[in-house]
Chain A
Amino acid sequence: MKKKLKGIAPEKTFPGATKILLKMKLTLCVILISFLGAMASESYSQTTKLSLDLKNAKVKDALGAIENQSEFFFLYSEKLIDVNREVNIEVQRSAIEKILDKIFEGTNVNYTIKGRQIVLATPEANNEAGMSSVSQQQKKVTGKVTDSSSASLPGVSVLVKGTTTGVITDSNGNYSLSNVPENATLQFSFVGMKTQEIAVAGKTDINITLDEETVGIEEVVAIGYSTQKKVSLTSSVAAISGKKLAERTVTNIQQTLQGQLPGLTVIDLGAAPGRTNYTMRVRGITTLGNNNPLVIVDGIEQSLDNLNPIDIESVSVLKDASSTAIYGSRAANGVILITTKRAKSGKLSVSYNGYYALQKSNNNPTHMDTEDYMNLQNIAFINSTGAPKYTEDYIKEYVAGTKTDPLKYPLPNTWYQTVFHVAPQVSHSLSVSGGNETIKAVLSLRNQNQDGIIPNSSSKINEMRLNVDYQVSRKITLATNFNYRNQKVIAPVNEGIIYNRMLQLSQFTVPKYPDGTYGISTDGHNPLLYAENAGTANRNVDYLTGDIKGEWEILKGLKFSVQLAGRISLTAEKNFTNSYLIMDYFDKTKVRKSQPVNSLTEVRNDEREFTMNNLLNYTKDIGAHSVNILAGYSQIQNTYRGLNAYRQNFYNNDIQSINQGAFDATKSNGGNDSEWGLRSFFGRLNYAYQDRYLLEANARYDGSSRFTGDNQYSFFPSFSAGWRISQENFWSELKSTVNELKLRASQGSTGNQAVGLYSYIASFSQSEYNFGGVSVPGYGQTTMANKNLTWETTYQTDLGLDAQFLNNRISFSMDYYNKRTEGILLTLPVPGTLGLNPSPQNAGRVDNKGWEFLLGTQNSFGDFGFNGNINLNINDNMVVDLAGTGPYITTNTSQQETRFITQVGYPINSYWGYITDGYFQTDEEVANYPNIRSQIKPGDVKFIDLNGDKMISPLDMTYLGRSFPKYTFSSSLNFTYKNFALTALIQGASGYYARVGGALAEMGIWGSFTSKYVTNNYWTPENRNSRLPRPLKSDNRNINFADRDRINGAYLRLKNIQLSYKIPSSLTKRIRIEQMSIFVATTNLLTFSDLNELEVDPESVGRTQDYPQTSLTSFGLNINF
Chain B
Amino acid sequence: MARSTPERRRKTRIKAGFSVYYAIFLIFVYGPMFAMFTLSFQGPRGGVTFPMRGLSFVWWERLAGPSAVGDIKSSLVRSLILAVIVMMITAIFSTMLAMAFRKKFHGSNVLFYAVMAGLMVPGVLLSLGLASLLRVIGIPPGWWYSALGVHVVWTLPFGFLVMMAVFNRFDVRLEEAARDMGADEWTVFKEVTLPLITPGIVAAGLFGFTLSYDEFARTTLLAGAQNTLPLDINAAMTQRVQPTIFALGTASTIFSLLMIGLFIVVYTILYRRSR
B partners with A: no
